[in-house]
Amino acid sequence: MSRTRLRGAAVLAAALLALVPSGAGAAGYPDPLPVAGDTVVHDPTMIRLQDGSYVAYSTHGRLEARVSNDRTHWRRAGDAFDAVPGWWYDYSADGDPWAPEISYRDGRYWLYYTVSKWGSNQSAIGLATSATGRPGSWQDRGIVFASTTTDTYNAIDPAVIADKGRLWMAFGSYWSGIRMVRLDPRTGLADPADTEVRHLATRPDLPYAVEAPTVVKHGRYYYLLASYDACCSGLSATYRIKAGRSASVTGPYVDSKGVPMLEGGGDLLLAAHGSYIGPGGQSVMKDHGRDVLVYHYYDGEDNGVPKLGLNELRWSRDGWPVVG
């Protein structure tokens, strides 16, 4: 193709991206990128390791682990933990952790995760660290933050973001929606000097079904992605991902129409389409300088089995996320 035609194609592509509605999603959604092997996951988190390979952790077991050399072909590789930390049983009779989030900072890997009984907000978020990020290599660091049945929030579904030398953790589900606390960047645990529990998103209708936050920085804005409605019910799942943004990591977050996420706002980013039912439980991974949306969906062609979904997360000209 000639340089002239290449330039013309680039201009056309940019123009088409600019025409995508702010917040995206309104006109249909692309299918997930092809993946193969063991891709039955729930609440996945993924990272590219220092050796160039990939690891994904997900809900259940001792945080199920899968590895890949190319981000396409996956195989089961045991669990994050070789043994169950004793404190898990204070929050879950089965010692079954949920919704991990992996990151790399200060020369080591950090894995945040949830321990809770289903339907209860007597919940805790734990932390483990590792030099390699590999399954079986994690050392548990204990409880980061917990909630009790007297609280108006639920300490599950952690999402961590570093910002200007500070470390923050968003979390939450149902009850009053998405919250945020400050962490001590040295330990990764709750900062004893700042105990405020900030409020980022909720909705006006019971049962306030918004959970699984992800906070990502792009340009001068922070973006809050969250899963709305019902997960965990196979073909009946109504999960979908919505987004808002803020000039401050602690909010307030608003959608493209200016509606605060604390008042039910949020642009629809990804919803059910075709055989891809109830996408959610998302996280965002940086890979070769690009943002990748990592999530699960329920496979309408496989009796609603939860599967791994990957899509590139692109950005419109006016700075709103678009699933590519």
Selected catalytic residue, list 96, 211, 255, 299:
211
Selected catalytic residue, list 43, 96, 101, 140:
43
Provide the greatest CA pair distance for the chain: 67
239 neighbors 228 (Cβ within 8 angstroms): yes
- In the prediction, which pLDDT does 21 show? 38
Enter the tokens of residue 242: 């919505």
- In the prediction, which pLDDT does 25 show? 40
3-state SS assignment for residue 108: strand
Residues 6+ apart with CB under 8 A from 140: 81, 85, 126, 127, 128
Domain borders along the chain are 3-323
Indicate the DSSP class of residue 31: P
pLDDT one digit per residue (tens) for the chain, 324 residues: 333 333 333 333 333 333 333 334 444 899 999 999 999 999 999 999 999 999 999 999 999 999 999 999 999 999 999 999 999 999 999 999 999 999 999 999 999 999 999 889 999 999 999 999 999 999 999 999 999 999 999 999 999 999 999 999 999 999 999 999 999 999 999 999 999 999 999 999 989 999 999 999 999 999 999 999 999 999 999 999 999 999 999 999 999 999 999 999 999 999 999 999 999 999 999 999 999 999 999 999 999 999 999 999 999 999 999 999
210 neighbors 230 (Cβ within 8 angstroms): no
CA distances from 198 to 204, 228, 252 (A): 18, 19, 10
301 classed as catalytic: no
What is the C-alpha separation between 24 and 140, in angstroms, rounded?
A: 39
- In the prediction, which pLDDT does 49 show? 97
**Predicted TM-score of the model (pTM):** 0.90
194 classed as catalytic: no
CATH top-level class for 3-323? mainly beta
